[in-house]
Amino acid sequence: MEDLISSSLPGMRDLLPEETGRWQLVEEHARRIFARYGFEEIRTSIIEPTELFARGIGDDTDIVGKEMYTFMDRSKRSVTLRPEATASVVRAYLQNAMYRGGGLTKLYYMGPMFRHEKKQKGRWRQFYQIGAEALGSDHPAVDAEMIEMALWFLQSLGVEARLLLNSVGCRNCRPRYVELLQAELSKSVGALCEDCRRRAATNTLRVFDCKVESCQPHIERLPAITDHLCAECSEHFGKVRAFLDEGAIGYTVVPRLVRGLDYYIRTAFEIVSGELGSQNALAGGGRYDGLSEVLGGPPVHALGFALGLDRLVMILPEEQGAKGQGRPELFLAHMGEAAMKKAAEIARDLRHQGFSCSLDFSAGKLKSQMRMANRLGARYVLIIGEDELARGSASIKNLEDSSQQDIAIPDIAAFLKSHIQGRTA
């Protein structure tokens, strides 16, 4: 016999039934909330031409430079497992000419992303994101509405979440600001870490991502981008903030919050939670008006955010996870061949009426069937033997308080309906 393959790849994990209930709850909640804001789901392919991410995220980023799962497929084409979904959504938007109708296109997605990152708490190599993209408008109200949706989604799940906000300028005002940064950085170049020295020359804004302790005093002294926005960017940022204020949405302006790439403009935001510890970012987003052109499309105003599901599920309040997803409402225990057939028939009928039912076909003793009912967390157990069958009735037991009563078989559905609170079926 071959050796048992008994572990997944490092940084990958299985989500087991005791966890997936919480995941489903979050996913269903996202669908409900996003639909209220007029977002529709898009499902793009998980594997894409490498070039899409090289261009769409940027060769110079850690994601593209160090973290992508890239390989040659059987037709010798370089392909990559998606490390994020915005580039794919924009690709699909362009490929399907979704801009043709004009106006605003609002899309959301959810699913796995892949990054070969260093192992750390709160970081996986296959992780899940829920994200939304609004394409076709540069109106600041669109920015504010999207931020409001992301926050409302989290807060209505009972999660503590704070908004950090910034504007990163545009192609007109940012180059001047970057020159200013470079001039400042050149004064302390000897004191900076190797990465910062490289970034200062190639991708200056990313200096703000540096975590090295000795660089911090120099970074803190750098001028703030919010003091160097052009009139249009200033006005846009002011309006985004005014719309947020009108919706009573709190935020902190953090001038260090930047995106490195040229096609990110104006609004940049992050949602953090104190419940997360050091990896405290729950979601990141911003405007990326230049991305469509980078991918060869027409100019398209757009903004979006991506929210880490793994982290969200980690801090979901306990009561949100209490709903056992596969917990049967009724377990049907049977004794004898004829009773088993009847139990199967009753289960089929009840399932068609919307009840979740389980039974054990291995014809074990009643005791072992009761053990299984308990293990599955069933609410009620129906016990059918030859005698009950002859009478056209069965015995129904409430596993929570152990009360038991006889019930006529045709009355089971009505009994469950009236005893299982909050059911809608």
Where does this chain bind ligand AMP (CB under 6 A)?
84, 115, 117, 123-124, 127, 129, 281-284, 306, 308, 310-311
**Closest to 257 (Cα-Cα) out of 271, 247, 275:** 271
Q: Which residue is nearest to ligand AMP (CB)?
A: 308
Q: Which residue has the tokens 């960017």?
A: 233
Q: Which residue has the tokens 């088993």?
A: 340
Nearer to ligand AMP, 39 or 124 (CB): 124
Virtual torsion, Cα 145, 148, 150, 151, nearest 10 deg: 180
Nearer to ligand AMP, 12 or 183 (CB): 12
Nearer to ligand AMP, 233 or 282 (CB): 282
Nearer to ligand AMP, 44 or 356 (CB): 44
Least distance to ligand AMP, CB of residue 302, Å: 15
Least distance to ligand AMP, CB of residue 326, Å: 26
Cα angle 108, 109, 112; round to 5: 160
Name the strands in the sheet holding 47-49, side by side, starting at the edge strand that comes first in the sequence.
47-49, 78-81, 69-72
Least distance to ligand AMP, CB of residue 208, Å: 15
Least distance to ligand AMP, CB of residue 120, Å: 8
* Residues 229, 237: Cα–Cα separation, whole Å: 9
In three-state form (DSSP H/G/I as H, E/B as E, the rest C), the secondary structure along 118-177 is CCECCECCEEEEEEEEEECCCCHHHHHHHHHHHHHHHHCCCCCCEEEEEECCCCCCHHHH
Nearer to ligand AMP, 123 or 162 (CB): 123
* Residues 144, 151: Cα–Cα separation, whole Å: 11
What pairs with residue 331 in β-bridges?
358, 381
Least distance to ligand AMP, CB of residue 117, Å: 5
Nearer to ligand AMP, 232 or 310 (CB): 310
Least distance to ligand AMP, CB of residue 389, Å: 54
Q: CA separation (Å) from 280 to 161, 177, 197, 321?
A: 10, 28, 27, 21
Nearer to ligand AMP, 269 or 331 (CB): 269
* Residues 31, 81: Cα–Cα separation, whole Å: 24
Least distance to ligand AMP, CB of residue 307, Å: 6
